[in-house]
Amino acid sequence: GVEKKILVIPGDGIGQEVTAWGQKVLSAIAANYHHNFTFEEGIMGHVAIEATGNPLPDETLEKAKNSDAILFGAIGHAKYDNDPTLKVRPEQGLLKIRKELGLYANLRPIKLFDELLEASSIKPEILRGADILFFRELTGDVYFGEKKRTEDRNTASDLMIYHRYEVERIARKAYEAARTRNKRLCSVDKANVLEASRLWREVVQEIAKEYPDVATEHMFIDNAAMQLIKDPKRFDVVLTGNLFGDILTDEASQIAGSMGMLASASVGDKVGFYEPIHGSAHDIAGKGIANPLASILSAALLLDISFGLKTESQRVIKAVEATLRQGYRTMDIANKHTVNDFIMGTDAMGAKVLENLN
Amino acid sequence: GVEKKILVIPGDGIGQEVTAWGQKVLSAIAANYHHNFTFEEGIMGHVAIEATGNPLPDETLEKAKNSDAILFGAIGHAKYDNDPTLKVRPEQGLLKIRKELGLYANLRPIKLFDELLEASSIKPEILRGADILFFRELTGDVYFGEKKRTEDRNTASDLMIYHRYEVERIARKAYEAARTRNKRLCSVDKANVLEASRLWREVVQEIAKEYPDVATEHMFIDNAAMQLIKDPKRFDVVLTGNLFGDILTDEASQIAGSMGMLASASVGDKVGFYEPIHGSAHDIAGKGIANPLASILSAALLLDISFGLKTESQRVIKAVEATLRQGYRTMDIANKHTVNDFIMGTDAMGAKVLENLN
Ligand SMILES: CC(C)[C@H](C(=O)O)[C@@H](O)C(=O)O
Ligand SMILES: CC(C)[C@H](C(=O)O)[C@@H](O)C(=O)O
């Protein structure tokens, strides 16, 4: 067995409820496969601001740097959304940890479990067989460029900026992944308008030459947002910047039936960071109805990517599949048109996955 | 009857093929209702670069300023998309005319014709009844902020910037429209990350107070990209910036069955500018298979918004409806699962609409 230190950061809103299940699944895997996982907990986001005034306390960052992998929940709170003038904000914690840990590549696999074919607003015949792996650049773009507000507060700006090396390193990662899949890569930008996108496209065109076995396509973001719904099967690996990736992957959640199913892995310099794509969902937080599967599938990604434990990772995915096959559903993935679904809350659903693990 | 001067700018690719039909419909309306429309033609985009070296020749701009309304086709060419290093680009023409004419509000109505309920990749029960009016800000944002490339060409940036007055004026237009509709307005931004979005949200919150009869909601762009597909009926008026509006409205084309159905109106200081949402589509340009309905529906918007000719505008829309009801379809809106559709090319389809006008 392996010996690993995992930092768990539940964060805000439903992050608290679902991350508990990601962690329980990791514990169960450790027990079943005789690994030794030790867990620490860290605070970040609104909860950290409330406790310390800082959305990413130094202590959490230290723990993160000293861990072998991080399981994160969600971030954000209505209070800040309703008051855009607040200076200290939960999201700053998430952006800072991504930057500090050098997590420049955010992998977001979009795959539909057969059992959820009917849960989406998109027609089953459009969805069947769709399987997309997004590579979203995560430490550059308009997220991290300089932000300004004039003194009279009447003008505000953010710098959308990319450096060649930032595009190169994530492009290589995306091409390497495309090689192990269907050998198609679609790079998404807005090169007909944006200079940062023109650099993006130039660099991807160069890196493409190193991978002649992969078919490269360039697409404008507006067209990509349409094609994703019109014909999701045309995509294999999608490579894009931070902002466009944020938008496209949320949109792509409809391909997987629900946002509540989607996990992501952020990797880069060293330690990997795993989180559901969904947010803190303050409208349903505390009600015990959030879908724990995205956190559980994030745990599966963690086992695979950070620890190289492929068998264990597959075991988790199979347990999720089995749970869905048995008809268990959280609200977000229930099919309103059948009576065969057993609708349950977060804890009941998590418990079913645990049962199926054993 | 009224006397009006219309500038027609077919532009690039399928713009040439479809705009001819928008113009023919305007001529037919003039004949039927005893108006006197005179048409001039202008060049813009790739065709203008080829002819003059300039994507927006001064002559075209002069004609535009002296016209009562402009009917535009599409812009763009594969040559520039494949070579991001080219300095003179077709899109610069479109961006410049938008700026010079002060076309700060781009209205994009998304409405599904009943006959096309099955043409979309989205389930009919999700779509039925969806009716959204987008207000996309069109002369600000990262489209017009300063663009930079370092001398070593390794760093590129675009400034995402908004001024208070830019948000105010389009917000008022959107609220006024919401008052005449279902009195719901959703403002889309990324205020949890971007300073420009925080200004956007502050200003919209202020303007909202002037319209207490309209229910305001604020949504992050990533969530909006998802909700649009998950539950399009939750939206009435959507207000957003230039970049987010570009992305969301292309995505929303799937609600209307096809991009080939969507018209837009750009208004502001004086003369109105009408264009399909679709692009130049160089993959199908010259083949005679493009859908002319978006151009024809753009002509309908022109009659209504620039000339105040509501009856005439409705007459055009009814002719399009009748054509669809008769089963005539261009490729993009044909239902692959029925054999009842008569699939035709651009000219045959346009001619059917003309017949139905008389
Ligand atoms: C919470 C927010 C800052 C974040 C982002 O925009 O990156 C989230 O939407 C995500 O996709 O992880
Ligand atoms: C062609 C391009 C510059 C344009 C835009 O991005 O505004 C187009 O996509 C549109 O939506 O009108």
User: Which residues in chain B have their CB less than 8 angstroms from residue A169's CB?
Assistant: none
Predicted pLDDT of residue B341? 72
Can you give the residue range of the structural domain that contains A190? 105-261
- Are residues B157 and B83 part of one domain? no
pLDDT tens, A170-212? 999 999 999 999 999 999 999 999 999 999 999 999 999 999 9
- Are residues B205 and B118 part of one domain? yes
Would you say residue A170 lies in a domain? yes
- Are residues A287 and A248 part of one domain? no
Ordered alpha helix ranges (H), chain A: 14-33, 46-52, 58-65, 78-82, 90-100, 124-127, 164-179, 195-208, 221-230, 242-252, 293-305, 310-325, 346-357
CA distance B24 to chain A (A): 29
Please name the residues in contact with A355: beta carbons below 8 A apart, sequence gap of 6 or more.
none
- Give the mutation candidate from A134, A143, A169, A199 for the B interface (greatest B CB count, under 10 A): A199
Q: Which position has the token pair 């699939």? A: B343
How many angstroms separate the Cα of B356 from the Cα of each of A195, B4, B293, B316, B340?
46, 24, 13, 9, 19
User: Is B234 assigned to a binding site?
Assistant: no
User: Which residues in chain B have their CB less than 8 angstroms from residue A281's CB?
Assistant: none
* Among A248, A258, A247, CA closest to A281: A258
Ordered alpha helix ranges (H), B209-309: 221-230, 242-252, 293-305
Q: Which residues of B are catalytic?
A: 143, 190, 222, 246, 250
Please name the residues in contact with A142: beta carbons below 8 A apart, sequence gap of 6 or more.
A158, A159, A160, A161, A242, A243, B142, B160, B193, B194
- Are residues A337 and A275 part of one domain? yes
d(CA B29, CA B27): 5
Total domains present in chain B: 2
Mean pLDDT of A210-239: 98
- Give the mutation candidate from B108, B189, B230, B280 for the A interface (greatest A CB count, under 10 A): B230
Is the CB of A193 inside a 6 Å radius of any atom of ligand 2?
yes
Predicted pLDDT of residue A237? 98
d(CA A61, CA A72): 13
Three-class SS state of B356:
helix
Residue B336 has pLDDT above 70, yes or no: no
- Are residues B227 and B168 part of one domain? yes
Would you say residue B266 lies in a domain? no
- Are residues A321 and A225 part of one domain? no
Count CA atoms closer than 13 A to B73's CA, side-chain side: 33
pLDDT tens, B34-50? 999 999 999 999 999 99
- Are residues A130 and A29 part of one domain? no
d(CA A342, CA A243): 37
Return the percentage of chain B with pLDDT > 70, whole number: 99
Would you say residue A118 lies in a domain? yes
Please name the residues in contact with A357: beta carbons below 8 A apart, sequence gap of 6 or more.
A25, A28, A29, A32, A315, A316, A319
What would the two tokens of residue B117 be?
């309920």
A vs B, Cβ pairs < 8 A, gives: 193
Instruction: Give me the sheet containing A237-240, strands edge to edge.
Output: A36-41, A3-11, A69-74, A272-276, A263-267, A105-111, A131-137, A237-240, A184-189, A215-220
Mean pLDDT of B138-156: 98
User: Which residues in chain A have their CB less than 8 angstroms from residue B143's CB?
Assistant: 193
User: Is A184 assigned to a binding site?
Assistant: no
User: Is A222 assigned to a binding site?
Assistant: yes
CA distance B180 to chain A (A): 26
Would you say residue A266 lies in a domain? no
Predicted pLDDT of residue A338? 62
Residue A91 has pLDDT above 80, yes or no: yes
Q: Report yes or no: A162 and A199 within 8 Å, Cβ to Cβ.
A: yes
Predicted pLDDT of residue A300? 98
Mean pLDDT of B308-328: 97
- Are residues A254 and A137 part of one domain? yes
DSSP state for residue A330 in the 8-state scheme: -
Q: Which residues of A are catalytic?
A: 143, 190, 222, 246, 250
Query: What average pLDDT is seen over chain B?
Result: 96
Instruction: Give me the sheet containing B215-220, strands edge to edge.
Output: B36-41, B3-11, B69-74, B272-276, B263-267, B105-111, B131-137, B237-240, B184-189, B215-220
- Are residues B248 and B311 part of one domain? no
- Are residues B275 and B348 part of one domain? yes
Last residue of a domain, one of A236, A261, A286: A261
d(CA B291, CA B21): 10
Predicted pLDDT of residue B119? 87
Residue A213 has pLDDT above 70, yes or no: yes
Quick one: pLDDT band at residue A113, thresholds 50, 70, 90? very high
Q: Report yes or no: B157 and B262 within 8 Å, Cβ to Cβ.
A: no
Would you say residue A91 lies in a domain? yes
Three-class SS state of B336:
coil
- State which ligand 2 atom lies nearest to the alpha carbon of B91: 3
- Smallest CA–CA distance from B96 into chain A, residue: A193
Would you say residue B264 lies in a domain? no
User: Which residues in chain A have their CB less than 8 angstroms from residue B163's CB?
Assistant: 154-155
Q: Report yes or no: A186 and A235 within 8 Å, Cβ to Cβ.
A: yes
Predicted pLDDT of residue A341? 72
Predicted pLDDT of residue A340? 65
Last residue of a domain, one of B258, B293, B323: B258
We report the CATH number of the domain holding residue B194 as 3.40.718.10
Residue A358 has pLDDT above 90, yes or no: no
d(CA A129, CA A124): 10
Would you say residue B224 lies in a domain? yes
- How many angstroms is it from B246 CA to the middle of ligand 2? 7
pLDDT tens, A331-354? 999 876 666 678 999 999 999 999
Predicted pLDDT of residue A44? 98
From B134, B246, B247, B298, the mutation candidate for ligand 2 (largest count of ligand atoms within 8 A of CB) is: B246
Angle at the Cα of B284 (from B280 to B286), degrees rounded to 5? 85
Predicted pLDDT of residue B346? 97
User: Which residues in chain A have their CB less than 8 angstroms from residue B246's CB?
Assistant: 190, 221-222
Residues in chain B: 358
- Are residues A327 and A199 part of one domain? no
Last residue of a domain, one of A261, A295, A319: A261
Quick one: pLDDT band at residue B339, thresholds 50, 70, 90? low
CA-nearest residue for atom 9, ligand 2, is B246
CB spacing of B251 vs A225 below 8 angstroms: yes
- Are residues B248 and B200 part of one domain? yes
Using DSSP bridges, classify how beta strands A237-240 and A272-276 pair: parallel, antiparallel or unpaired: unpaired
Three-class SS state of B334:
coil
> CA dihedral defined by B42, B45, B51, B56, rounded to 10 degrees?
60
Return the percentage of chain A with pLDDT > 90, whole number: 95
Residue A162 has pLDDT above 90, yes or no: yes
Measure CB to CB from residue B221 to each of A155, A196, A247 and give the nearest one.
A247
User: Is B136 assigned to a binding site?
Assistant: yes
Is the CB of B15 inside a 6 Å radius of any atom of ligand 2?
no
- Smallest CA–CA distance from B168 into chain A, residue: A154
CB spacing of A222 vs B246 below 8 angstroms: yes
d(CA B187, CA B208): 10
Query: What average pLDDT is seen over chain A?
Result: 96
